[in-house]
């Protein structure tokens, strides 16, 4: 198809660089410098999608971020799919592939359109609530239907092949928007010596000047832009970011900018290049120079393709050399839009008429239009458009002075394009992100940024300063304010001069009346993306929704990716009128981040795949990998889970590992256990306060197990702490709890007991820990050390400094398996050496490596708890059956003491930890299973506690479990039942949670 709407010359496109692209499977041609939108318009494509609710054909309305309809799916391959791309913001590149996100089976013949035609009455506002609420069980069905119909686009089904990046930035001044105000602000700030970042969503700087015929200092405006850009380039501390959307304005002047690095010119980033980058900017000052969006007027069938913002029409003509039609009718309430009719006429196309709602407008642009012989119909309104897939004509009627009533006969005009302008709405979105409420201004006929606590300045059209001259002047002023606050010198910049334009007062017109009442008139769209009509808003108000926030939610106005850019002000004006209030009384809804959709890629940056989360490895990790260990994540640690041999199943491997340990010797890499070095003359007293048991008498060379509780008396961590010296202790914590415990100790030391002399240091990574466990563990250790490890010299719960495999080691005779055990700690650098030496010496004892799962089984056979598995923050030491670990008589009221004595904590029927033996020894209870005393009780059955640990014990030849049972400590020998999801009911006997060697004879040898 030829570019039938392309002008012979003009515009900022390069006609020597044709580009081929595909839209909805058709091939088209555009030029370098085009957006996808301008290229499609050049090719005469009118229908870009179907509307959300009524499935009406929709075309281009705007030329920028505010475009509500032309939201497309981008991507030439499955892996490069990007949903929710505005065609108006997407630069054209060779080979671009885009498709409508809405419309089934196609945008041209849409089955849903039938629903739209007959369904107007079927889909009133609030149709979600009215239609889809009941029955609730159907919601998933409704949702999938709505999602498909809503055309939200889709994510790629394949892995994204592109690289994304994040960058942290600090700057003195961040200027948002590179139009006249922003450029002026950036230049002034840079010249004052400030570090500056200036970002703009467009591929080129210039903002409104990109599509303007204005002059600055007597030269075409874009020459001035080029000069400013060149000057900014000279500064080392100025970062210019085109193709970069400032999407979020967060607390303390933290802003996020999504920079499109390569996806503006290629479907896939060239090898190694970053496709998009998210700049996380902390700015001392922010200058919002975000400009304004033109407000289209609301009239009958104003969504028919061919109805556009007046300024968008000018942009397509002036910037892209594309005229979006042949016969134009312009509907306006202000002078500025006359420029569009002038541009259209000057492009050699026919202006049918300018329809102005005002009775007697006077101004330079109006004169210019008259000089061109363009017919102007004053005091009139365009009340309705004819056509379905393209405008074919319009109806115009005289209006009364206030513009709310049709006062005369309706005239029909032939036209294929309607440009409309109801004035300009400042782009205040970013200013709202941090919670500032916008303020209505009658002069501007729009909302202005509200008072804020952020270090934020505004310049240009965002303040309602709609002329280029005012924008330039405000840009200088904003920079001066920022510089003054930064203590930098303000250099006097001469203010560039623009031509003077005399403009008449605009009329506050939002909704053009029809000769029929709104509810009977053709649909008058307010929010195109969500299909919200004037009649819908009036209905919502009639149905009692008086708050604008409720009207928004009831009608869906301002929802979705559009965030009310185009329609919100019109909608509020219509609601205000229906509620017989003023617009400031009605108020506005708040715009939220992000301003436009941000890809997940940009948000994730490099924090994906291998880099998603840090990984921690022990010094022996490579050995575990070599041995084919299966790993499990414990916090960020990668711990061996079990070590399968050959074709062993997991259970077979566990059985072998358990038996080898109990029969000879096994070894566990326990390096991940948290280790905190505690020193100071008050270290001992401190331990006594944070642990529930007594520490006053622990001698040097001795180890002790302790429970740590919160002030509520509930256990949150446990571990063995050893006395290294009179004022020196080594505390071990659970692997996952180490950081929390350290912070807990610091909290109490710094806030409650700062007078105590005690110091804490994490030494987790400094030591490699390997636990050898089993009847032959002493024999094994003896082979590697000359030190005395005999029973009499080295007793249970002692630790010794010795030499193992030629390196200095701290060896602890502590046991988490109930076997004779030695926990060998060496400097981490020696870890692998000692580990390998143990295996060399251990061959004769069949030294068997085991992982966390076997560790769990072995400790459960002994009834040792795991904090976080057998505790859940609601159990105290007595619930756990560990009164021996609580020293109630300690002089200082230790943390948890008062808490565990509260009324609720001393109830007899608390859930208490017990052992559970299934009546059928082959059945292993699922962990988490809920117990009941009476399996025949009516549903809902009273639940009496859950299974916390449950395993097959190869050593005992039966299943074992621990769990909570109400009043369980007094129910030994009684039965408890576990009704399972699959219908089985497992019967178990309550017992002491020690299944093996209750007297502890095995570890005391």
Partner 1 sequence: MFHIFCPHCGEYREEEEFHAKGEAHIARPLDPDACSDEEWGEFLYFRKNPRGIHHELWVHAAGCRKFFNITRNTQTYEILEVYKLGETPSVVAE
Binding residues for partner 1, rule: CB under 8 A, are 250-254, 282, 434-435, 453, 711-712, 742-743, 746-747, 750-752, 754, 893, 897-899, 902-903
User: Is the distance from CB of 90 to CB of 71 less than 8 angstroms?
Assistant: no
Closest separation in Å from C-beta 280 to partner 1: 8
* DSSP 8-state symbol, 92: P
- Sign for the CA dihedral angle at 486, 492, 497, 502 comes to positive
Minimum gap (Å) between residue 754 Cβ and partner 1:
7
Cis peptide bond prior to 940, omega within 30° of 0: yes
CB of 317 to partner 1, least distance (A): 43
Contact 176, 246 (CB under 8 A): yes
Q: How far is the CB of 749 from partner 1 (least distance, A)?
A: 9
Per the listing, tokens 């007297």 go with 999
Q: Which helix (H) or strand (E) holds 45?
A: none
Give least dist CB 440 to partner 1, A.
22
Strands 674-679 and 666-669: unpaired
* Residue 743 three-state SS: helix
Beta bridge partners of 57: 50
Element (H, E) at 976: strand 975-979
Of 451 and 609, the one with the shorter C-beta distance to partner 1 is 451
Q: How far apart are CA 578 and CA 406, in angstroms?
A: 18
**Cα distance between residue 284 and residue 170, in whole Å:** 8
Shortest reach from residue 170's CB to partner 1, in Å: 10
CA-to-CA distance for 591 and 257, rounded, in angstroms?
Answer: 17
Q: Please, which residue, 132 or 254, has the CB nearer to partner 1?
A: 254
Question: Quick one: how far is CA 37 from the chain centroid?
Answer: 29
Please report how close the Cβ of residue 751 comes to partner 1 at its closest, in angstroms: 6
The residue to which tokens 């009718």 are assigned: 329
Of 331 and 687, which CB lies nearer to partner 1 in the complex structure? 687
| Closest distance to partner 1 from the beta carbon of 613 (Å) | 14
First to last CA, the chain: 92
Nearer to partner 1, 229 or 687 (CB): 687
Residue 471 and residue 184: Cα distance in Å, rounded?
A: 8
Instruction: Give min distance, CB of 433 to partner 1, in A.
Output: 12
Residue whose structure tokens are 């299944």: 995
* Measured distance CA(100)–CA(98) in Å, rounded: 7
Instruction: Considering the complex, state which of residue 316 and residue 760 has its C-beta at the smaller distance from partner 1.
Output: 760
In whole angstroms, how close is the CB of 674 to partner 1 at the nearest point? 15
Instruction: Pick the closer one to partner 1 by CB: 439 or 453.
Output: 453
Distance CA(506)–CA(746), nearest Å, equals 65
Question: Which helix or strand (DSSP H or E) is residue 18 part of?
Answer: strand 14-23
Q: Which is nearer to partner 1, 610 or 904 (CB)?
A: 904
Q: Give the 3-state secondary structure of residue 334.
A: coil
Nearest-angstrom CA–CA distance, 75 and 329: 36
Structure tokens at 810: 């701290």
Length of the chain: 1005
Question: Which of these, 982, 1, 129, lies nearest to 550 by C-alpha position?
Answer: 129
Nearer to partner 1, 32 or 739 (CB): 739
How far is 1000 from 294, CA to CA, in rounded Å? 83
Q: Which residues pair with 767 in a beta bridge?
A: 827
Query: Smallest distance from the beta carbon of 712 to partner 1, in angstroms?
Result: 6
Structure tokens at 634: 């414990």
DSSP 409-436: --EEEE-SEEEEE--EEE--HHHHTTTP
- Smallest distance from partner 1 to CB 898, Å: 4
In the complex, the smallest distance separating the C-beta of residue 762 from partner 1, rounded to whole angstroms, is: 10
Put residue 215 in one of left, alpha, beta given phi > 0 → left and psi -120 to 50 → alpha.
beta
Question: What minimum distance in Å lies between the beta carbon of 652 and partner 1?
Answer: 43
Least distance from C-beta 673 to partner 1, angstroms?
20
Pick between residue 372 and residue 902 the one whose CB is nearest to partner 1: 902
Nearer to partner 1, 119 or 899 (CB): 899
Residue 307, CA atoms < 13 Å, CB-side half-sphere: 34
Minimum gap (Å) between residue 893 Cβ and partner 1: 4
CB neighbours of residue 938 within 10 Å:
7
What are phi and psi for residue 884, nearest 5 degrees?
Answer: -65, -20
**Nearer Cβ to partner 1, position 251 or 726?**
251
CB nearer to partner 1: give 176 or 307: 176
**543/746 with CB nearer partner 1:** 746
Which of these, 498, 444, 501, lies nearest to 472 by C-alpha position? 498
Comparison of 414 and 902: residue with beta carbon closer to partner 1:
902
Residue closer to partner 1 (CB basis): 573 or 742:
742
**Least distance in angstroms from the C-beta of 742 to partner 1:** 8
Min dist. Cβ of residue 251 to partner 1 (A) = 4
User: For the residues of 493-558, what is the DSSP string, one character each?
Assistant: PPPP-B-----PPPP---B---SS-TTTSSPBEEETTTTEEHHHHHHHHHTT--SHHHHHHHHTTT
Q: What value, to the nearest 5°, has the Cα angle with vertex 770 and ends 768 and 773?
A: 165
Nearer to partner 1, 254 or 617 (CB): 254
Residue 596 contacts residue 82 (beta carbons within 8 Å): no
Per the DSSP assignment, residues forming a β-bridge with 35 are 91
- Cα–Cα distances (Å) from 89 to 33, 65, 361, 658, in that order, read 12, 6, 35, 64
Q: Burial of 758 by CB count in 10 Å (0-12 exposed, 13-18 middle, 19+ buried)?
A: buried
Q: Give the nearer residue to partner 1 in terms of CB position, either 131 or 761.
A: 761
Instruction: Determine if the peptide bond prior to 105 is cis (ω within 30°).
Output: yes
Which residue do the tokens 């506002």 mark?
Answer: 125
CB closer to partner 1 out of 487 and 754: 754
């Amino acid at each position: 198809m030829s570019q039938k709407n392309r002008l012979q010359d003009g515009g900022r496109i390069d006609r020597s660089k044709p580009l081929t692209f595909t839209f909805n499977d058709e091939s088209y041609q555009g030029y370098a410098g085009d957006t996808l939108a301008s290229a499609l318009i050049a090719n005469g494509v009118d229908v870009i999608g179907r509307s959300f609710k009524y499935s009406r054909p929709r075309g281009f309305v705007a030329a920028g971020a505010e475009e509500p309809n032309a939201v497309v799916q981008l991507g030439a391959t499955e892996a490069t799919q990007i949903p929710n791309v505005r065609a108006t913001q997407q630069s054209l590149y060779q080979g671009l592939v885009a498709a409508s996100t809405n419309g089934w089976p196609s945008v041209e013949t849409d089955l849903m359109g039938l629903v739209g035609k007959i369904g107007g009455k079927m889909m009133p506002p609030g149709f979600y609530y009215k239609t889809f609420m009941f029955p609730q069980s159907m919601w998933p069905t409704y949702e999938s239907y709505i999602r498909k119909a809503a055309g939200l686009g889709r994510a790629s089904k394949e892995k994204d092949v592109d690289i994304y990046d994040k960058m942290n930035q600090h700057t003195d001044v961040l200027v948002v928007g590179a139009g006249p105000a922003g450029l002026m602000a950036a230049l002034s700030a840079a010249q004052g010596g400030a570090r500056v970042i200036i970002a703009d969503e467009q591929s080129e700087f210039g903002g409104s000047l990109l599509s303007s015929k204005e002059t600055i200092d007597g030269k075409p405006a874009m020459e001035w832009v080029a000069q400013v850009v060149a000057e900014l380039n000279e500064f080392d501390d100025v970062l210019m970011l085109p193709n970069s959307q400032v999407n979020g304005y967060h607390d303390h002047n933290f802003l996020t900018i999504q920079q499109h690095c390569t996806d503006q010119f290629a479907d896939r980033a060239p090898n190694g290049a970053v496709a998009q980058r998210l700049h996380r900017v902390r700015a001392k000052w922010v200058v919002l120079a975000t400009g304004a969006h033109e407000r289209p007027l609301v009239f009958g069938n104003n969504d028919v393709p061919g109805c556009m913002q007046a300024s968008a029409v000018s942009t397509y003509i002036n910037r892209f050399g594309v005229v979006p039609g042949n016969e134009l009718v312009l509907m306006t309430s202000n002078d500025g839009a006359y420029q569009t009719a002038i541009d259209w006429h000057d492009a050699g196309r026919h202006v049918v008429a300018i329809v102005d709602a005002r009775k007697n407008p006077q101004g330079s642009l109006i004169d210019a239009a008259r000089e061109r012989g363009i017919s102007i119909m004053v005091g009139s309104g365009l009340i309705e458009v004819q056509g379905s897939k393209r405008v074919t004509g319009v109806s115009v009627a005289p209006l009364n002075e206030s513009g709310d009533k049709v006062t005369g006969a309706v005239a029909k005009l032939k036209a294929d394009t309607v440009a409309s302008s109801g004035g300009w709405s400042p782009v205040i979105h970013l200013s709202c992100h941090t919670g500032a409420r916008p303020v209505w201004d009658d002069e501007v006929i729009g909302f202005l940024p509200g008072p804020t606590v952020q270090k934020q300045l505004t310049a240009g059209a965002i303040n309602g300063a709609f002329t280029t001259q005012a924008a330039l002047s405000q840009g200088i002023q904003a920079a001066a304010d920022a510089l003054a606050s930064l203590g930098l010198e303000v250099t006097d910049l001469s203010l560039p001069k623009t031509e003077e334009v005399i403009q008449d007062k605009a009329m506050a017109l939002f909704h053009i009346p029809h000769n029929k009442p709104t509810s009977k008139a053709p649909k008058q769209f307010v929010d195109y993306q969500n299909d919200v009509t004037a009649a819908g808003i009036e209905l919502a108000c009639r149905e009692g929704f008086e708050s604008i926030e409720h009207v928004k939610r009831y009608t869906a106005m301002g929802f979705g990716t559009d965030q009310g850019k185009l329609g919100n002000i019109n909608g509020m004006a219509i609601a205000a009128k229906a509620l017989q209030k003023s617009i400031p009384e009605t108020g506005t809804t708040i715009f939220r981040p992000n301003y436009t959709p941000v890809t997940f890629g940009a948000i994730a940056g490099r924090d994906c795949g291998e880099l998603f989360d840090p990984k921690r490895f022990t010094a022996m990790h490579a050995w575990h990998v070599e041995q084919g260990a299966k790993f499990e994540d414990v916090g960020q640690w990668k711990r061996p889970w079990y070590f399968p041999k050959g074709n062993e199943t997991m259970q077979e491997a566990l059985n072998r590992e358990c038996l080898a340990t109990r029969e000879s010797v096994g070894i566990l890499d326990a390096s991940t256990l948290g280790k905190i070095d505690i020193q100071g003359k008050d270290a001992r007293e401190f331990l006594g306060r944070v642990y529930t048991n007594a520490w006053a008498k622990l001698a040097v060379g001795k180890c002790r197990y302790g429970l740590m509780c919160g002030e509520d008396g509930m256990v949150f961590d446990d571990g063995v702490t050893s006395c290294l010296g009179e004022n020196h202790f080594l505390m071990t914590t659970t692997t996952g709890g180490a950081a929390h415990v350290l912070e807990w100790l610091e909290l109490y030391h710094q806030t409650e007991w700062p007078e105590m002399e005690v110091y804490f240091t994490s030494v987790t990574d400094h030591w490699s820990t390997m636990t050898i466990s089993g009847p032959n563990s002493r024999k094994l250790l003896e082979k590697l050390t000359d030190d005395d490890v005999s029973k009499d010299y080295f007793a249970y719960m002692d630790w010794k400094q010795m030499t193992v495999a030629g390196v200095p080691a701290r060896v602890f005779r502590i046991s988490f398996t109930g076997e004779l055990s030695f926990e060998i700690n060496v400097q981490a650098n020696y870890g692998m050496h000692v580990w390998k030496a143990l295996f060399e010496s251990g061959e004769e004892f069949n030294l068997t490596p085991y992982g966390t799962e076997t560790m769990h089984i072995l400790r459960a056979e002994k009834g040792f708890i795991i904090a976080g598995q057998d505790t859940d923050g609601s159990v105290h030491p007595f619930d756990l059956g560990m009164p021996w670990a609580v020293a109630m008589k300690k002089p200082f009221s230790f943390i948890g003491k008062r808490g565990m004595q509260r009324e609720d904590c001393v109830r007899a029927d608390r859930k208490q930890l017990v052992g559970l033996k299934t009546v059928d020894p082959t059945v292993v209870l699922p962990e988490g299973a809920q117990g009941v005393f009476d399996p025949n009780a009516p549903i809902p059955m009273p639940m009496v506690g859950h299974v916390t640990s449950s395993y097959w014990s190869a050593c005992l030849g039966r299943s074992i479990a621990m769990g909570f049972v109400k009043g369980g400590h007094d129910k030994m020998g009684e039965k408890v039942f576990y009704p399972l999801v699959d219908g089985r009911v497992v019967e178990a006997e309550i017992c002491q949670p020690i299944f093996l060697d209750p007297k502890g004879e095995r570890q005391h040898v």
